[in-house]
Amino acid sequence: MGGGGAGVNCTSRHHAEDVWERFPRSPGTAEPCTSPTWSIMTNKNKEMGGCGGSTLTSELVGSTRPRIWRNLLVGTVVVMLVVAAGIATVIMTRDTGAAGFLPEPSAQTATQGGISLEEVLNGSFSPAQFNGTWISDTEFIYRSSTGGLNLYDATTLTTKEVVTPAIMSEWRPFKYSLSPSRKYILFVHDVQKLFRYSYLARHTIINLETSEDIPLAPQRVRNRAEQPPLLYATWAPTDDAIAFVFHNDLYYTTRPDLATMYRLTDTGQIGTIFNGVPDWVYEEEILSSNSAIWFAPDSKRLVFATFNDSSVDTMNFPLYGRPGDLAFQYPIQQSIKYPKPGRDNPVVDIWIVDLAKLVSGNKDTVLRLPPPASLESIDHYFTTVGWASPTKVSIIWMNRHQNTNIVSICTENGVCVDDLVHESPDAAWNDLYTPPIFDTTGDSYLIVLPTDQGVDGHFKHINLRKSSDKTLTPLTTGTYEVVEILAWDQVSNIIYFKGAPAGKPGQRHLYYVGDLKHARAKQAFCITCGFKNDYSEDCNYNTAEVSSDNSYYVLTCSGPAIPQVTLHQSSNHSRLTLLEDNQEIRERLQGRSLPLEKRLEIDVEGGYKAQVTMKLPPDYNPTRFQSYPMLVYVYGGPGSQLVDDRFKISWGDYLASEKGIIYTSIDGRGSGYAGDKLLHSLYYGLGTHEVTDQIAVTAALQNTFPAIDKTRSAIWGWSYGGYVTASVLSKDKENVFKCGISVAPVTSWTYYDTVYTERYMGLPTPTDNFDAYNASDVTQNVENFRNKKFFLIHGTADDNVHYQQSMMLSRALEVNDILFRAQSYNTLNNSYRICAIHGIEDF
């Protein structure tokens, strides 16, 4: 999949997310219809079929999921703003052409038509991305274009084959990981998906010297047919030992030949007690992972978490199965422990194991690491676990209201001290889901915290905590956001991080700042600001993967132009080679009649600015009187973002180029990367400002652009966006929108999970926030649906946003004799995207 003569193909394509413009993976965000097959790193390759035989394939690789996309939907109770054209001030308008990378279509250049639906669904314009994993300071492993696994050496710019395409074809691994000695590789295969990150799968060790395959299991098995599925497995960092989870219990083996096997827990119960893997709510809302195991950097100790869901209420839903299959003569009842607001949460404990003592036969090897005394007797969570040194563990704890975090440092002997207590400065919620990065002494660490910027409020910035003298020093400042710390080079005293520039929340750039030992301490410099790709196009949205000792990094320029991947040397940021330029996509788009893209900022209530993107039909001409229907695609959840500078060809491009529909997205109050004032404006009030802003900004657009047909303006969204869509229809008294489509919506926050809901809404009790829960309940505000067209879509077996949500809204509409259209999907999860898209088009 190379381009432009690149010497190595270490990229793979992203398909599914492009269709839906890569909105955050939150409650109700659908998974593809069938089980994943294989993937290169930590995400999954998915195939989705149905509705006319369309297939959607996604090789999701190189996954690092920012915690910022924490979740789900938003809400109701809206004070309607009647916006006249003179009230909404268009601050900035920017025409970028087709995502800013091709000239504006004209009769001379547009020779092949627009973007077809089939091309969008098949991922024809999904760019190849970096799929490698750094395994040393100079080498990364990646999947080659021929299907094998190769090592790439950044010092010599050469490759070496590790696993042949034939072996990869035989095993078809969903994931793989090379052992520290590089003598073995662990394949994850025969996968059965469970929830968003979790799965059951067989795990097999391949000896790369002898080609012997060793099934990983608690006991030796004779052949692959007898091999049991595991929930998780991982190599130790420095030797070829393995920890794995079988039937919710944790095991450890010191050798890949499984000659010695140790069972660390025996309390596991399927669906109730989890050791080393998270339960549903921790997997979905806190850890964003299928693992709760953390090896020490020297492999001598291991920390794991236990989740006890005995007191958590059970949610039941039917699995109807396949037509004609007698196994489903009666629907199968699926049960899941699912805590809802105000109800019991799982009880969590964290343990440390001395593996050397375990191997020597010492039985007293497992110690509990207690939570802070201030949280021990009340409901609490942990959000991250990391290692401060080979003998010290850092744990971030959080109270149930999620406005107080405590960084706890524990010794190998189980003694823990509270090192840092962080209260939300805005009396809202905290977002601490990434482990601190420690220096080599274990005394100082970097942590991203909201930092006061005066009248502009708090912005997330890098702070240096020194435990010995209890100091906390901001290293970055300003009205921009630090999105992620990428690396701390303690030799050069430089910290690399990714940030969203001031006033440009849709961009991402690579920065560095000097730590306190640097000659220019606390001075931040932007590395990629002003960068252009090989076609002299702006690189406004960048990501970087830094090597283990910070000597090199792989830079992906993700937009607005067609993505390009390059390898750089850290010392002077010089480019060493081109890894991918997606020339195939560039050639495929030449001569197409592509949408025009317009970017705007529009004032909204409270002195904030909403970010807006509009995909305009190719024949749009503001000087010629012609009206177009407009469809607003909404998400709206706290911290979310739809308007950014990434390259994407989505369903909206198809609608604009082939159907003549203006496709619009709006990031209003509550959206991310522009400071905590904007973000926290939804606190204790989901369903308020994010709903108001969709109505107000759409009205402003209608009044600003005469080409928008006010009689044909609609809104749609999935998950949180489905909730906002329904809330908009319930509150839109001025008929700004004529119709709406909600897919898998939350309709009442009392039916969603504790962690997500209570983070933003508190508890549904009279002494806390009961009135806001009631006001945000769409089922209590249905009268305004009477004059709207409404299409409600949901899957019957959605484990995240339950089918109950749509059934409650359906009942409210039916009781009030309000007609609407509804469509249900008999799926094993919320994986019905392609079918839904055909239903939406028909509507």
The Cα 239–Cα 242 span in angstroms is 9
Contact 129, 556 (CB under 8 A): yes
Residue 581 corresponds to which tokens in the numbers above?
């330029």
pLDDT value of position 729: 98
How much of the chain, in percent, has pLDDT values that exceed 70?
86
pLDDT digits (tens, 9 = 90+) for 466-509: 999 999 999 999 999 999 999 999 999 999 999 999 999 999 99
Residue 818 corresponds to which tokens in the numbers above?
């309000």
pLDDT band for position 104 (50/70/90)? very low
Residues 6+ apart with CB under 8 A from 350: 303, 304, 305, 306, 368, 369, 382, 385, 395
DSSP string, 281-315: HHIIIII-SS--EEE-TTSSEEEEEEEE-TTSPEE
Cα–Cα–Cα angle for 804, 810, 813, rounded to 5 degrees: 145
pLDDT digits (tens, 9 = 90+) for 150-187: 999 999 999 999 999 999 999 999 999 999 999 999 99
Q: Evaluate whether residue 45 is within a structural domain.
A: yes
Number of domains in the chain: 1
Indicate the helix (H) or strand (E) that contains 749: none
Tell me whether strands 471-474 and 481-489 are parallel, antiparallel or unpaired: unpaired
Q: Evaluate whether residue 687 is within a structural domain.
A: yes
The Cα 206–Cα 234 span in angstroms is 14
Q: Evaluate whether residue 773 is within a structural domain.
A: yes
The single-letter DSSP state of residue 606 is T
The Cα 185–Cα 141 span in angstroms is 12
Partners of 87 in beta bridges: none
Partners of 337 in beta bridges: 314
pLDDT value of position 515: 97
The Cα 21–Cα 14 span in angstroms is 11
pLDDT value of position 112: 77
pLDDT value of position 679: 98
Nearest to 831 by CA among 34, 12, 22: 34
- Containing domain of residue 749, as a range? 11-126+588-842
Q: Evaluate whether residue 547 is within a structural domain.
A: no
Q: Evaluate whether residue 140 is within a structural domain.
A: no
**Which CATH number does the domain housing residue 101 bear?**
3.40.50.1820
pLDDT band for position 10 (50/70/90)? low
pTM (predicted TM-score): 0.89
The single-letter DSSP state of residue 53 is T
pLDDT digits (tens, 9 = 90+) for 545-591: 999 999 999 999 999 999 999 999 999 999 999 999 999 999 999 99
pLDDT digits (tens, 9 = 90+) for 221-232: 877 889 999 999
pLDDT at 619 > cutoff 60:
yes
pLDDT digits (tens, 9 = 90+) for 777-819: 999 999 999 989 999 999 999 999 999 999 999 999 999 999 9
Partners of 176 in beta bridges: 187
Q: If you search the block for the tokens 């132009």, which residue do you land on?
A: 561
pLDDT digits (tens, 9 = 90+) for 434-476: 999 999 999 999 999 999 999 999 999 999 999 999 999 999 9
Q: Evaluate whether residue 218 is within a structural domain.
A: no
pLDDT digits (tens, 9 = 90+) for 314-351: 999 999 999 999 999 999 999 999 999 999 999 999 99
Q: Evaluate whether residue 757 is within a structural domain.
A: yes
Q: Evaluate whether residue 93 is within a structural domain.
A: yes
Q: At what angle do helices 720-731 and 689-704 cross, to 10 degrees?
A: 70
